[in-house]
Amino acid sequence: MSLTISYDPQNIFAQIIRGDAPCYRLYEDDDVLAFLDLFPQSFGHALVIPKRSAACNILDVDSEALCKVMAVVQKLTRVIVDELQPDGVQIAQFNGAPAGQTVFHIHVHIVPRYAGEGLGVHAAGKAEPAELEKLQARLVEAIARSGI
């Protein structure tokens, strides 16, 4: 059962944390990393993960790491909303394959929503690197201005 699997240190987010795989980084501190989703469901779709917690999901993450992640989720959501001006924003977190989880390192999705635009298919449809780079630069600048 994917809710109780043991943590695989080779999962893609663990590789990103170690620097073994690339990402479009938005924010990083000692405990938390935020980056753009490679298969965005909307413009500005970002992911926030704990760096020091080898946790698959909400059941096994320690509460201190979770609190640090959620604090960054809130700050980053404020910046994304301010910069991209979506009409709504979804904060999502999936646990176990039947719930939609595909990467088994706990993470929180920030998904801006725009009136009249449907949600893209989950974890499908890779974004163009040039678009991700442009968006990354825009959001990194906005994050720097915000002082988070």
Active-site annotation, residues: 107
Burial of residue 128 (number of CB atoms within 10 Å: 0-12, 13-18, 19+): exposed
Query: Which residue sits closest to ligand 5GP, CB atoms considered?
Result: 39
Find all residues with CB under 8 Å of 53, minimum gap 6, and list them: 61, 62, 65, 106
- Minimum Å gap between C-beta 44 and ligand 5GP is 13
102: contact with ligand 5GP by CB under 6 A: yes
Q: Please, are residues 117 and 90 in contact by the beta-carbon 8 Å criterion?
A: no
Question: Using CA atoms, how far apart are residues 143 and 138, in angstroms rounded to an integer?
Answer: 9
Among 123, 140, 142, 148, binds ligand 5GP (CB under 6 A): 123
- Minimum Å gap between C-beta 47 and ligand 5GP is 6
- Minimum Å gap between C-beta 57 and ligand 5GP is 9
Please name which of 51, 43, 41, 44 lies closest in space to residue 13, comparing C-alpha atoms: 51
Tell me the site size for ligand 5GP, rule CB under 6 A: 13
81: contact with ligand 5GP by CB under 6 A: no
With residue 86 as reference, give the H or E element that holds it: none
Q: Please, are residues 16 and 33 in contact by the beta-carbon 8 Å criterion?
A: yes
The stretch near ligand 5GP (CB under 6 A) out of 25-33, 79-87, 96-104, 133-141 is: 96-104
Contacts with ligand 5GP by CB under 6 A lie at 12, 23, 35, 37-39, 47, 94, 100-103, 123
